Amino acid sequence: MTQASVTLIKGMQFVVETGTKHTLVIDSGNPEIGGRNTGARPMELVAAGVAGCTAMDVVSILRKMQQQVTGLTVKATSKDAEEPPQRFLEVHIEYSITGFDLDEKKVQRAIKLSEERYCPAMATIRPGARITNSYTLHAALPESLVK
């Protein structure tokens, strides 16, 4: 079970509390409806959830494959519907992976496993949004290995 609650603070600013007791501020950002751009917008959090979910999967899978990952950045960019509800129509996931002697086939496999089998955030948006990906690999020196 996943839980979150939101409490109105002022205008269109809310405090989110997750089921694990973490908090953050969200805001519509739109001054016409009381937004002041004091926090993330809800759909930005959806994109962040997708990026975070697949990032955790990919690192975990690559480590199980004995790949020496030293860094990972995942960027999720959406194309949104123009009319309400302005849902995601397409999401492109861009992986930037740094490591020592990375096997490109294993990287491709890890991304595929995350996107098609393990990432619940992607599974949630996939029925309505087309998901694409790209990746870049960056070589790290052996002394930069991080556990």
Domain layout of the chain by residue ranges: 4-33, 42-144
For 66-123, the pLDDT digits (tens) are 999 999 999 999 999 999 999 999 999 999 999 999 999 999 999 999 999 999 999 9
Mean predicted confidence (pLDDT) in 20-29: 96
Query: Which is it for the CA torsion 8, 10, 12, 13, positive or negative?
Result: negative
**Above 60 in pLDDT, residue 145?**
no
Residue 103 — φ and ψ, nearest 5°? Answer: -95, 115
Alpha-carbon gap, residue 9 to 14, rounded angstroms? 5
Q: Residue 69: what pLDDT? A: 96
- The single residue listed with the structure tokens 């949004």 is 129
Query: Does the pLDDT value for residue 144 go beyond 70?
Result: no
**Which CATH number applies to 42-144: 3.30.300.20, 3.10.105.10, 2.40.110.10, 3.30.70.270?**
3.30.300.20
CA–CA distance, 87 with 4 (Å, rounded to integer)? 20
19 C-beta neighbours (distance < 10 Å), count: 10
Query: What is the strand order of the sheet 13-18 is part of?
Result: 4-10, 13-18, 23-27
Strands, E assignment, the chain:
4-10, 13-18, 23-27, 68-80, 88-100, 130-139
- Write down the mean pLDDT value for the chain: 95
DSSP secondary structure code for residue 58 in this structure: H
Is residue 54 within 8 A of residue 79, CB to CB? The reply is: no
List pLDDT tens digits, range 49-66.
Answer: 999 999 999 999 999 999
